[in-house]
Amino acid sequence: MPANYARWSTSLRKMNPGFAYLLWDDFDNRSFIEQHYPWFLAVYDAYPREIYRADAVRYFFLYQFGGLYADMDTECLRPLERLFESGDVWLGRMGKDPDFSHSIPNAIMASRPLQEFWLLVIHLLVENARILCDATAMADKGPEALTGPILLKDAYDTYLLSDR
């Protein structure tokens, strides 16, 4: 692990000593999908680059286990335990413009297990997988839209508009 990533992940563990810390690699991620969500494995394997898979698997982890997901380049500045005192899903906001397509980043997210919001995100992953069959559309969209923060914002906006 690069030194700066080690420092940042140490900050997360140091500020949150009661949290279990799990680091999953690409092999672990694929094994998780294969074991728990085999119906998604063909889509997972068809992604053209690892970033698509890294984006997609985090939504499945949060649905299955809940907890906190944070990219390795995330520095923790204060304890996060109080976050879990209310609500079921926690997403960040980047910037002040709620209409900015990247305003809901997927770099740090938290949730209780089995939250239906993640099912919506997973549904959108499956819907977007059809675009992967069209190389021109995929080049226009990229991982941000198909599996990353633009997809997450679309799910967020859709969820807020629902009756649930």
Q: What is the helix (H) or strand (E) element at residue 70, kind and residue range?
A: strand 67-70
pLDDT digits (tens, 9 = 90+) for 44-81: 999 989 999 999 999 999 999 999 999 999 999 999 99
SS3 110: strand
pTM of the model: 0.92
Helices 149-161 and 116-132, packing angle to 10 deg: 130
pLDDT digits (tens, 9 = 90+) for 32-44: 999 999 999 999 9
Quick one: which of 156, 149, 136 has its CA closest to 54?
149
Please spell the DSSP secondary structure of 115-151, one letter per residue: -HHHHHHHHHHHHHHHHHT-HHHHHHHHHHHHTSHHH
